[in-house]
A and B are shown apart, each in its own frame.
Chain A
Amino acid sequence: MFLQDAPEGGVQYWELLVSGLGWTLAVSACAWVIALLLGSAIGTLRTTHRAWVTRVGNAWVELFRNIPLLVQMFLWYFVAPEFVPALKSWVIAADPAHAQFLSAVLCLGLFTSARIAEQVRAGIQSLPQGQRLAGMALGLREPQVYRYVLLPMAFRIIIPPLTSETMNLIKNSSIALTIGLAELTFRAREIGEYTFHFFEAFSAATLIYVAIAMAANRVMALVERRTAVPGYIAHGAK
């Protein structure tokens, strides 16, 4: 069935799935980079002892965590351009796929950044207070304390929750179909509608999602093993 020609574009159905997979991976990867960078920065800022910085960080987390993802997706795609004229004219002129892609990446990246910020904050705060003080006592400025003392351990500790955030991000990327991005779930539905073989179409999509999740999981497990401190984390290198 997947080898049959699709009714449009002169491609076979499996090629539709592959192109969907491509969008899913692209959206997930870009959003993940944004989420990790922003999330780490915001999570770190929330642990500094400066009241207003902490408040900004907390507001960020609450904002993006508490609005349903679907609503955020619509806000980015339909509402945000209304407020920024330059963006609006670009959206009108650009290939719709590009606008959809940008909205999806921003939406998923910021949403996940709030969750990663929470993990990073918890990771840093789980370290003994003596670590920070020892860094300062040895003459490190605050950014150095974070760079050399706190973050290396905090990231090691939060690898397991980061793994599950990564998988959530990949799965959440399917919501981009609601703004018309032709990612994996979108394509599966499309194939189902053309052929009435919904079962096969979604089974294929399911298998692909599982494969991506397992691959992501393995990569994170490898990172965890590589960075494990001997004797420190129980399930690290023996």
Chain B
Amino acid sequence: MALLEIKNVSRRFGDFTAVDDVSFTVESGEFFTLLGPSGCGKTTLLRMIAGFDLPDSGAIVLDGVDLRDTPAEQRPIHTVFQSYALFPHMTVAQNIAFPLRMAGKADDEVRTRVREAVAQVKLDKLEQRYPHELSGGQKQRVALARGLVNRPRLLLLDEPLGALDAKLREQMQIELIRLQRGVGVTFVFVTHSQAEALALSHRIAVMNHGVIEQMDEPDKLYGFPKNRFVADFIGNVNMHEATVAATGGTLTLELGTLGRIAAPSREGVKAGTGGVFVIRPEQVSIRAAAEASPDPNQFEGVVNDFLYIGDVTTYIVDLPDGKRFEALLPNSAPGRAKFFEVGDHVRLSWKAEAGAFLDA
């Protein structure tokens, strides 16, 4: 049985629907992520799971028990807030010990559990500091330790890494994974960073305007986005309006005046259907226009700009119909960081299995 079941949950504020008929389940031990742009309803959903807010309709079920009549403080669920919400008048050790003390645990059990938790989040030697004497990353660790110390069934995390700088964020991501696997507590994690979601999660629900657009494992979500929004939101993507010219083993798509391409076929599309063709920059090969490519799909273009990112270079190429496509080229050969200049004529190409045809 699933640990957490969200069944047709809706929440309206006036005539604005913040969460619209959302359903999903979270398995025990899972790292589940709610991903979506600002204002899509992630926090609203999380607040209802935590019990700070009630759904207008639908049910939230934990371990088979409907939580409607269970107030926040009685749910075996903890929340780690973006603002950490540490108690400023308590030391690190007191903050972490607090849930245990309130649960009436004996002194030596509290001491042992706090020592364990402190070691887990690597806060040794800082136990006697107060929150205002800690850095952002250290506060974050205290909040995590406090959330985990009495082993909730479920830990909700609302953009817990939002306030950290890029380097620290990455470090904390790795520790989050380690912690979650280590303690076996189920996480429901909220973020609007797709990179973070992909790196951390077992499964991701992509939300937009209060609905779940797609729910899948990270690689499936990235490789097989179901619609234009998901394709665009997860990673980088090239898009081009397309019409189905012929169906069969592969789809034949008409990309406007650009010409025809072969694309992976999809169930239920008929000739004449309009939509978009999407393809990831790393699936697009780039070479000098004079060189031949074995790929069935190829177009010549002119380099408009390039971004040297370090490990790869992204080329932005103007196609003959005025559209722009991006192609990624790894900089793996030392000393050969840059292959093309602005204005160079290049050939973009991709395989028939690459990319996807999506509804507009």
Contact = CB atoms under 8 A, between A and B. Distances in A.
Interface string B69-97: 00111100111010111111100000000
Contacts of B74: 139
B252 to A, nearest CB: 55
Q: How large is the interface on A (under 10, 10 to 19, 20 to 34, 35 or more residues)?
A: 20 to 34
B98 interface: yes
B130 interface: yes
B89 A141 contact: no
A97 to B, nearest CB: 43
A68 interface: no
A90 interface: no
B76 to A, nearest CB: 9
B106 interface: no
B79 A134 contact: yes
B166 interface: no
Nearest to A229: B89
Interface string A151-177: 011001000000000000000000000
A78 interface: no
Given A134-B79, A136-B73, A138-B102, A128 B85 contact: yes
Given A133-B52, A133-B79, A232-B88, A138 B132 contact: no
Given A136-B72, A136-B73, A137-B79, A232 B130 contact: yes
A130 B81 contact: yes
21 contacts: A128-B85, A130-B85, A131-B85, A131-B87, A133-B72, A134-B79, A134-B85, A134-B86, A136-B51, A136-B73, A137-B50, A137-B72, A138-B73, A138-B78, A139-B74, A140-B73, A141-B73, A144-B102, A156-B89, A229-B132, A232-B88
Given A133-B50, A140-B73, A229-B130, 16 more contacts: A130-B85, A134-B79, A134-B81, A134-B86, A134-B87, A136-B52, A137-B50, A137-B73, A137-B77, A137-B147, A139-B99, A144-B102, A153-B89, A229-B89, A231-B130, A232-B88
B292 interface: no
B133 interface: yes
Contacts of B73: 136-141
